[in-house]
Structure 1
Amino acid sequence: MIESYYVPIEEVRFEEEIKQSRFISFVFPVNNADDFSQKLADIRKSWPNACHYCYAARFGAPDNDVLIKSSDDGEPAGSAGRPMLALLSGSQLGEVGTIVVRYYGGTKLGVGGLVRAYTAGVRQCLLDVPKREKQLRYPASLNCAYNELNDIDYLLNKFDAVIIDKQFGATIELTFEISLSQWPLLMAAVVSQFQGRLRLIALSPRLQ
């Protein structure tokens, strides 16, 4: 299982005309089906009366072949959605979607021509889209005294952990997420600084 992957950080668009048909291609960040459906609805509204709105999306990591979808939207089977999805897979991006809007110009392109037309714009968008690296993080927790909180905050920040919950009682219970590579480094630092007084608890099998 991969521990990090790249994701797009903003939408890009590419437009071209092929044999009088107009193709408008979009690549954008998306991580769930509901957000993708909203994006598709927005594009349909912004670009009305097109003949086809073909699409592909990968909602998870690049190696996750479950959270994917594609559609030819009325074009011949296999001429749009699947080739577009293949480009997303080849890009090694995660949490990415693409939609291509086609305004028909009166000339049939054939299946091969459609594959080339639908993938050309997506390929250009994938070259242009800005991206960032995303580290996979896993949950863990610890309890500390109030006078230890500043030191714990410093260590969590040092090892790129993200606090997701704080519970205040007789002690403070912190729940946080951390990458697999940083977990043993954090454990060693906590043991060294607090001389075994604090115990980190892994809440994911990946950290155990």
Structure 2
Amino acid sequence: MEEKDTYRTITTPSEEVLFKDKNSKFFGYAFPIQNEEEVKQHIEDLKKQHHAARHWCYAYQFGTDEKNLSYRANDDGEPNNSAGMPIYGQIQSFDVTNILIVVVRYFGGVKLGVGGLINAYRTGAQMALEASKIITKTINIEYCISFEYKNMNKVMRIIKEKNLNITNQILELDCKVFISVRKNDSESVFKTFDNQFEIKIEVV
């Protein structure tokens, strides 16, 4: 059985969404992210934008393979597990990764109780995801193929036959061509180049 070599994510931030409950307002946002620095930046920007809000609760997840997933959920002063985990639950439910979801709360004077908070943060996250364009991407392996210029035609012929995606190339006396290959095809592509005389392939 082939391993899963695709993942779902977003490439552009969602529109702002709003959920109201007993005068409290919950603004939801989804952002595509690649690292924790971007998470900090988005939170800082939202704190400036909503400086009068009480809570900026969020959850995020990185990684495209079940073995290397990392996530974090933050209640930002709300009762334990009443905000961050319900938001993270929606990331799991929509099966998306490399994503940050923030739900900003303005307190309306009436306490919602833990059940009410869980529902509000879950709904804010769900609405942000529904307002996002979710796409499926392939998990790719990057290779570098090294060879002398005289072997150029041989390398290019294989690349053309296998319809491979070139991401970068340095074509001098000693040539390097970088290719990006879908994970499930990567082993056969590696073997094809590895079996060629005077051609070297390695993972970048």
Aligned residue among 9, 14, 20 for 1:7: 9
CA distance in 1, matches of 2:200, 2:99: 34
2:90 maps to 87
Q: Give 1:145 shift.
A: 4.2
CA distance in 1, matches of 2:191, 2:66: 31
Matches within 5 A, 1:26-175: 26-61=29-64, 63=66, 66-146=69-149, 149=152, 152=155, 156=159, 159-164=163-168, 166-175=169-178
- Note closer, same or farther for the CA distance 1:154–1:125 as it changes in structure 2 (3 Å cut): farther
Report % sequence identity. 24
CA distance in 1, matches of 2:68, 2:115: 25
Pick which of 139-148 and 113-122 moved more. Answer: 139-148
* Kept in 1: contact 2:19–2:123 (CA 8 A): no
* Kept in 1: contact 2:190–2:201 (CA 8 A): no
Superposition CA RMSD, Å: 2.8
Instruction: Report the count of equivalent residues.
Output: 200
Q: Give 1:160 shift.
A: 4.1
CA distance in 2, matches of 1:180, 1:100: 35
Pick which of 195-204 and 100-109 moved more. Answer: 195-204
Q: Give 1:112 shift.
A: 0.3
* Kept in 2: contact 1:56–1:68 (CA 8 A): yes
Q: Give 1:203 shift.
A: 2.4
- Note closer, same or farther for the CA distance 1:22–1:135 as it changes in structure 2 (3 Å cut): same
- Note closer, same or farther for the CA distance 1:50–1:150 as it changes in structure 2 (3 Å cut): farther
Q: Give 1:177 shift.
A: 3.0
Q: Give 1:150 shift.
A: 6.8
* Kept in 2: contact 1:24–1:102 (CA 8 A): yes
1:201 maps to 201
Pick which of 171-180 and 21-30 moved more. Answer: 171-180
* Kept in 2: contact 1:62–1:92 (CA 8 A): no
- Note closer, same or farther for the CA distance 1:149–1:130 as it changes in structure 2 (3 Å cut): farther
- With normalisation by structure 1, the TM-score equals 0.82
* Kept in 2: contact 1:25–1:101 (CA 8 A): yes
Give ranges in structure 1 of 5+ residues lacking alignment.
Answer: none
Q: Give 1:63 shift.
A: 2.8
Q: Give 1:61 shift.
A: 2.3
- With normalisation by structure 2, the TM-score equals 0.83
